[in-house]
C-alpha cells in the first residue's frame, strides 16, 4: 500500500499545478495520469490551438504559411511543454504514476499501471490518502446527429492532428472552439461554414461583442448559418451536411466536419458509485467554495465538475482545495473569472454581461471606448475594436467586455481591479503607458 497526503487523478493544468503547490507546502502527493502529462489543454486544446492561431494571424498578414510546417511547430511546442510538466512532476514530494485510476472507497484509489511506467508499482497498485482530488477534465460532446460517426467527422482533438489542410471545412457549433478554428482555417484559405443552433455565437459572452465578432469573421469570408439544426451527415465522394433553417432543409458540402458543440465531463470508469460520489448532468457535484464532493475528503476540480470549463479555473480551484485542506485563507475569487476567444481580433470578458445585468434588474451604467480613437491601435493597424464596461451606482466595475487586438491582456487588468472591488475612477486614475491599447480603458465615456 502506498500512503500519501493527497492523491490527484489527472495531470492537466488543475492536476499538475495542484500537485506542485501541495508539494511546496510539505505535502506528499501522488498524481495519476492515464494519457499524456499536461491533459487536454496542453496536448489537444489551448496550447496547440494558440500556436495555430499565431500562424494564422501571420497568414492573414500575407506571410506564407506551410500547413505541414505549422503542424510541426505546433507539435514541437506541445512536446517541449509536456517535457516541462513531466519534469515538474519529478520534484520532491510528488510521485507521478501512469495508469488508469478507479476509486475503491473514500480513501483508496486502485491504479492499473500502464506499461510505459509506474515506478516500482505493480500492475494493479493501491494508493491511500485522506484527500483525493479528481481532475480528469472533459471530452468533446457529440450530439445525436445521424452519421456523426462516419469518416471525416472529427472533434478538435483529431483536427489538431490532420496532415492536410481541408479545402472546405464545416463547423458544427459557434462557441469558443468553433470560432477559433473557423478563424484559423479561413486565414489559411479554407472555405469555412459555421452552423449554430442558437440565435447568436458565443452565448456566454456579451451579445453585442459576440455579434460584432461574427460580423467581422463574415467580412473575412466565414459563412455563418445561425438558428440552424444539423439533421444528418452523409458521405458520397465528399461529406454532405444537411441542416434545417427556418423550416427549410439546406445541404453544404465539406472535406472535413468539425463537431464543436461543447464538452462533457470525464466521469466514466472512475468508480464514483463505489465511493458514493454524487454526479449530475454537468459532472461531479461539488461545494462551490471548497470543491469538496458529497463525500468528505474527495474533491473535484476543473472541467470534471462542469462549473467553469476553463484551464485557469481548474488551476485556481486546485489551489483553493489545497488551501482548504491546509486551513489556509486565500483571496482567490472564483466568481471573477476572465475568459478569452483567440480569434482575429480577440474577444475577452470578465464579470457580468449586459444581458445578465438586465435580467437581474441591476441598476448599471454602460461605458464604451473604441480602438479607432487610440493612437497605438492606429499605429499597428488594429482599429477594429470596442470596449464595454459596466459600473454600479457606486462606480464599482461589474463587468468588462472587449473585442479587439490584445483584448485578453486588457481584460486581465480590469479583472485585477475587480478583485479589489475597484471603481472606474480608480482605473482612470492609474497611470498608463503611452502609447498603448490599454489607454482606451482610461478614456471610456
Catalytic residue positions? 434
Gap between the Cα atoms of 295 and 237, Å rounded? 53
Gap between the Cα atoms of 386 and 247, Å rounded? 35
Gap between the Cα atoms of 330 and 16, Å rounded? 20
Gap between the Cα atoms of 316 and 307, Å rounded? 13
User: HSE (CB half, 13 Å, CA atoms) of 436?
Assistant: 12
Could you tell me which of 382, 379, 425 has the C-alpha nearest to residue 404? Answer: 382
Sign of the Cα pseudo-torsion (397, 399, 404, 410, in order): positive
Could you tell me which of 423, 285, 326, 228 has the C-alpha nearest to residue 6? Answer: 326
Gap between the Cα atoms of 90 and 56, Å rounded? 36
Could you tell me which of 157, 140, 160, 184 has the C-alpha nearest to residue 342? Answer: 184
399 - beta bridge partners? 351, 390
Gap between the Cα atoms of 210 and 407, Å rounded? 13
* Cβ–Cβ < 8 Å for 249, 242: yes
For residue 72, count other CB atoms closer than 10 A to its CB: 11
Contacts of 389 (CB under 8 A, 6+ apart): 366, 367, 368, 369, 397, 399, 400, 401, 414, 424, 441, 444
Could you tell me which of 96, 40, 109, 45 has the C-alpha nearest to residue 269? Answer: 109
Sole residue written with cell 459576440: 210
- DSSP-derived letter for residue 354 is H
Amino acid at each position: 500500500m502506498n500512503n500519501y497526503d493527497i492523491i490527484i487523478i489527472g495531470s492537466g493544468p488543475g492536476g499538475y499545478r495542484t500537485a506542485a503547490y501541495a508539494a511546496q507546502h510539505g505535502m506528499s502527493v501522488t498524481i495519476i495520469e492515464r494519457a499524456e502529462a499536461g491533459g487536454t489543454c496542453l496536448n489537444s486544446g489551448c496550447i496547440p490551438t494558440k500556436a495555430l492561431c499565431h500562424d494564422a494571424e501571420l497568414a492573414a498578414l500575407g506571410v506564407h504559411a506551410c500547413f505541414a510546417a505549422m503542424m510541426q511547430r505546433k507539435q514541437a511546442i506541445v512536446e517541449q511543454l509536456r517535457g516541462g510538466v513531466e519534469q515538474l512532476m519529478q520534484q520532491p514530494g510528488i510521485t507521478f504514476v501512469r495508469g488508469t485510476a478507479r476509486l475503491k472507497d473514500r480513501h483508496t484509489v486502485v491504479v492499473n499501471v500502464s506499461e510505459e511506467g509506474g515506478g516500482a508499482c505493480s500492475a494493479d497498485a493501491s494508493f491511500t490518502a485522506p484527500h483525493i482530488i479528481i481532475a480528469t477534465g472533459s471530452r468533446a460532446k457529440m450530439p445525436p446527429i445521424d452519421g456523426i460517426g462516419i469518416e471525416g467527422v472529427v472533434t478538435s482533438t483529431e483536427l489538431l492532428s490532420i496532415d492536410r489542410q481541408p479545402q472546405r471545412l464545416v463547423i458544427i457549433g459557434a462557441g469558443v472552439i468553433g470560432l477559433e478554428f473557423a478563424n484559423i482555417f479561413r486565414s489559411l484559405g479554407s472555405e469555412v461554414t459555421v452552423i449554430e443552433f442558437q440565435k447568436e455565437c458565443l452565448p456566454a459572452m456579451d451579445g453585442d461583442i459576440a455579434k460584432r465578432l461574427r460580423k467581422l469573421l463574415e467580412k473575412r469570408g466565414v459563412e455563418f448559418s445561425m438558428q440552424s439544426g444539423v439533421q444528418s451527415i452523409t458521405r458520397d465522394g465528399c461529406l454532405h451536411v444537411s441542416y434545417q433553417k427556418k423550416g427549410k432543409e439546406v445541404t453544404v458540402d465539406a472535406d472535413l466536419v468539425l463537431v464543436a458543440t461543447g464538452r462533457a465531463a470525464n466521469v466514466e470508469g472512475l468508480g464514483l458509485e463505489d465511493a458514493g460520489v454524487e454526479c449530475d448532468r454537468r459532472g461531479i457535484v461539488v461545494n462551490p467554495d471548497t470543491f469538496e464532493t458529497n463525500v468528505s475528503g474527495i474533491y473535484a476540480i476543473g472541467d470534471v465538475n462542469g462549473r467553469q470549463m476553463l484551464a485557469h479555473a481548474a488551476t485556481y480551484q486546485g489551489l483553493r482545495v489545497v488551501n482548504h485542506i491546509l486551513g489556509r485563507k486565500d483571496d482567490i475569487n472564483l466568481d471573477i473569472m476572465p475568459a478569452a476567444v483567440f480569434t482575429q481580433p480577440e474577444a475577452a470578458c470578465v464579470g457580468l454581461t449586459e444581458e445578465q445585468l438586465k435580467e437581474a434588474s441591476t441598476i448599471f451604467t454602460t461605458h464604451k471606448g473604441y480602438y479607432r480613437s487610440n493612437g497605438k491601435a492606429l499605429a499597428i493597424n488594429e482599429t477594429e475594436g470596442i470596449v464595454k464596461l459596466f459600473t454600479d451606482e457606486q462606480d464599482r466595475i461589474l463587468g468588462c467586455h472587449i473585442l479587439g487586438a490584445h483584448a485578453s491582456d486588457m481584460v486581465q487588468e480590469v479583472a485585477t481591479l475587480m478583485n479589489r472591488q475597484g471603481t472606474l475612477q480608480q482605473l482612470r486614475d492609474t497611470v498608463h503607458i503611452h502609447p498603448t491599447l490599454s489607454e482606451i480603458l482610461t478614456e471610456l465615456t
